[in-house]
Amino acid sequence: MKEFALIFRNSLNPAVQPSPEQMQQVLTEWMNWLGGIAAQNKLVDRGNRLSISQSKTVRPDNVVTDGPYTELKEFINGYSIIKATDLDEAVAMAKGCPALTIGGNVEVRALVASEDTN
């Protein structure tokens, strides 16, 4: 089994902002989705949400800017680490992510071991 990072991105588009009731529903679906992955013994790390307001970007020459981007249209909201036999299985798991129902997306990336050259 390989490990994959599921990187959750959201949009700052006001047209796709869910209501509090929709967010509660998504939270319930999120817990059920992650619980299903955990029940298969394929959840390595639930991960964490990542702050936007408490973030900085450090660039060469000691340049420090607020936030992850200059013009933020989409941001990384959090991540989880899963186990899957291959990229296709990891993508299949990501397709069940409730963030997809509220305008988000999931980036799936293999974690690379130090001896791996891919």
Please give the average per-residue pLDDT across 68-93, as a whole number. Answer: 83
Residue with more model confidence, 42 or 77? 42
Confidence category of residue 55, pLDDT binned at 50, 70, 90: confident
| CA neighbor of 111 nearest in space, from 77, 78, 83, 75 | 83
Give the rounded percent of residues in the chain with a pLDDT score beyond 70.
Answer: 85
- Residue 39 pLDDT exceeds 80: yes
Task: Name residue 75's amino acid.
Answer: F
Please give the average per-residue pLDDT across 19-43, as a whole number. Answer: 92
* DSSP H or E stretch at residue 34: helix 20-39
Q: How far apart are CA 83 and CA 37, in angstroms?
A: 9
Please give the average per-residue pLDDT across 11-36, as a whole number. Answer: 83
Region of poorest pLDDT, from 12-16, 40-44, 79-83:
12-16
| Dihedral sign of CA atoms 9, 10, 13, 16 in order | positive
Please give the average per-residue pLDDT across 17-44, as a whole number. Answer: 90
